[in-house]
Structure 1
Amino acid sequence: MAHVIITGGSSGIGFAVASIYAARGARLSLIARSRGLLEGAQAKLIASSGANADSIRIEAADVAVESDVEAAIRRCEQAFGPCDILVASAGIVEPGRFEELDSASFRQQMDTNFSGTVHAVRAVYDSMKRRRRGRIMMISSGAGLLGIYGYSAYCASKFAVHGFAQALRSEARPHGVSVSVCFPPDTETPQFQRELAARPPEAATIMGTVRPWPAEAVAKRIVKGTDRGRFEVYFGTTLFLLGRFAPAVRPLLNWWFDRAIVRCGNTATHNRGVSEHRT
């Protein structure tokens, strides 16, 4: 049985991926910050897949702290053997205009989304190289393909994940290790609902009202891409075209975004003026 380690496995995309592997009978190691959420995820997986409790291990750790995630992964490997598949899904998003986003919030997103991915990969990579097998899937984002108003920290962290994956793929391939990266769209997760509440109106305008993908649908594509060893996994035509033809597409999108942001600002100014006049 494969040993699958998933960071951010207690909820959202990570949990949906875990559900697929649990149904396959894999040995699962879930890592997240909250032990309470991990225990709940473990119970759900056992109930839904019929998995044995002994085949699902949980470890509470913050991926932003390298020593913590490394120790957690070591304990998982001691219990279930070397990692065969790593899905680095742990991530956070806190929208906000750059000048309004404090340094701690910016740094936390970089530390969790980018450095947290690097820490998890580093913990399993040497063993995969020695065994000349293993699969690594990193979760970037559609925001890792295009800069979005109000998402300077999140975009920076997810662009960095993409660059890291590109470089590591070249290093890992001669050693039999598969490296993949995926770019999910807005996805129905508990975190997404919190994100919407903080999303600046300009961002809401340019991102439109496209329905978010179900986490289960995103997870299916992630697992399929991992199975096939695809380097880049996209979701929908728009993200595929952006990923494949970004230099040609991005100027057109930026032009449209700039016009939409100006219209949004004019509307907000008009509404404030009407309100003040009524007062």
Structure 2
Amino acid sequence: MDKPTVVITGGSSGIGKALAKEFASKGANVIIGARKKEILEKTQRELSAMYTAGNTVHSYELDVSNEKSIAGFIQNCVKDNRTIDILINCAGIAVCKEIENTLSEEYKDTAAINYLGTVLTVRHALPYIKKNAHSRIVNISSMAGIMGVYGYSAYTPSKYAVVGFSEVLRAELIPYKIGVSLVLPADTDTPQLVNENRTKPVITKKISGTIKPMTVEKAAQAIIRGIEHGRFLIIPGFESKLVYTLSRFFPGLMYAYSKFIIKRHIKKHTE
């Protein structure tokens, strides 16, 4: 594909920003969308400095919890006869607290951004994506989207939903020769992880502490390799692939491990 146009939601920080930089370095045209204007503009400046003649970078404010904002963003993406060759849905939030400590609004916001934000972005972009055979939609879920982890009662269901949506989307787009990729990253060193760790229960930290957070650069490189190879399932990192395999083929083992961590923690703090 000659100088594809890559549209990335949540492209101003974290994995989205790292993906934008990787695609920029490969000569692609990049369009990013995010909520925070100042961070968005800063990222655009960084991307613009990487470009050579003939390439473009654009950024537009985007709130994926608001359908009107999504519709406006997509219209901005396709103006001046631009195409959408690759759509990457990175926008998301993470809330990690026990159920009793998670607010009703946090459940609603997590579902609205992580799941509905992905669905509605795809729906508004699809008429334009269909114009280009062999284009691709990439949805970012999480390792927490395939297993229930203590403390993620808001986050995990929203990412499970992205998995199911991506599987349906993959089937429905077969007639149009449009590819779909589902990304399952584990903990990645992002601003979102920093915020998440502020409220993360000790038990959750013990369970997730078995895997060292991956850098956003390595995660982005793994995702792009998966896209280039046309893979549906993209799991960055060897340790994440191992956890995926164990959770898929030995689900009881993963539950037993979590149960062991939880019981040991309870015993330690009740003795």
TM-score tier, shorter chain, comes to: over 0.9
Deviates more, 1:219-228 or 1:7-16: 219-228
Match of 1:221 in 2: 222
Quick one: distance in 2 between partners of 1:248 and 1:222? 24
Quick one: distance in 1 between partners of 2:80 and 2:38? 21
1:22 counterpart letter in structure 2: A
Q: CA RMSD in A?
A: 1.8
1:78 aligns to 2:49 (yes or no): no
Where 1:218 maps in the other structure, the secondary structure is helix
Where in structure 2 are the equivalents of 1:114-129 lying within 5 Å? 114-129=115-130
Quick one: distance in 1 between partners of 2:77 and 2:248? 42
Report the Cα offset of residue 80 of structure 1: 5.8
Quick one: distance in 2 between partners of 1:122 and 1:178? 15
Where 1:57 maps in the other structure, the secondary structure is strand
Match of 1:18 in 2: 20
Residues 141 and 185, structure 2, Cα contact 8 Å, conserved in 1: yes
Quick one: distance in 1 between partners of 2:54 and 2:83? 19
* Cα deviation digits, residues 225-256 of structure 1 (max 9, x gap): 11221000012344324445644321111011
Quick one: distance in 1 between partners of 2:80 and 2:158? 32
Where 2:8 maps in the other structure, the secondary structure is strand
Identical pairs, percent: 35
Quick one: distance in 2 between partners of 1:65 and 1:263? 43
Quick one: distance in 2 between partners of 1:50 and 1:127? 25
Residues 23 and 51, structure 1, Cα contact 8 Å, conserved in 2: no
Residues 34 and 60, structure 2, Cα contact 8 Å, conserved in 1: yes
Residues 31 and 58, structure 1, Cα contact 8 Å, conserved in 2: yes
Quick one: distance in 1 between partners of 2:137 and 2:177? 11
Residues 13 and 216, structure 1, Cα contact 8 Å, conserved in 2: yes
* Cα deviation digits, residues 40-95 of structure 1 (max 9, x gap): 00111123x24569811111110111121121111121046121100100010011
1:117 counterpart letter in structure 2: T
Gaps of 5+ in 2: none
| Structure ranking higher in helix proportion | 1
TM-aligned CA distance change 1:129 to 1:209, over 3 Å = same
Quick one: distance in 2 between partners of 1:182 and 1:155? 14
Residues 46 and 52, structure 1, Cα contact 8 Å, conserved in 2: no
1:178 aligns to 2:196 (yes or no): no
Residues 170 and 180, structure 2, Cα contact 8 Å, conserved in 1: yes
Quick one: distance in 2 between partners of 1:44 and 1:218? 19
Match of 2:33 in 1: 31
Where 1:229 maps in the other structure, the secondary structure is coil
Quick one: distance in 1 between partners of 2:242 and 2:211? 17
Quick one: distance in 1 between partners of 2:239 and 2:82? 40
Quick one: distance in 1 between partners of 2:248 and 2:14? 31
Quick one: distance in 2 between partners of 1:191 and 1:234? 19
Report the Cα offset of residue 107 of structure 1: 1.0
Report the Cα offset of residue 24 of structure 1: 1.8
The TM-score with structure 2 as length reference comes to 0.93
1:84 counterpart letter in structure 2: D
Query: Which 4+ runs in 1 deviate beyond 4 A?
Result: 51-54
Report the Cα offset of residue 8 of structure 1: 0.3
Aligned pairs, number: 269
Match of 2:98 in 1: 97
Quick one: distance in 1 between partners of 2:235 and 2:196? 22
Match of 2:112 in 1: 111
1:143 counterpart letter in structure 2: A
Where 1:185 maps in the other structure, the secondary structure is coil
TM-aligned CA distance change 1:108 to 1:22, over 3 Å = same
The TM-score with structure 1 as length reference comes to 0.91
Larger radius of gyration: 1
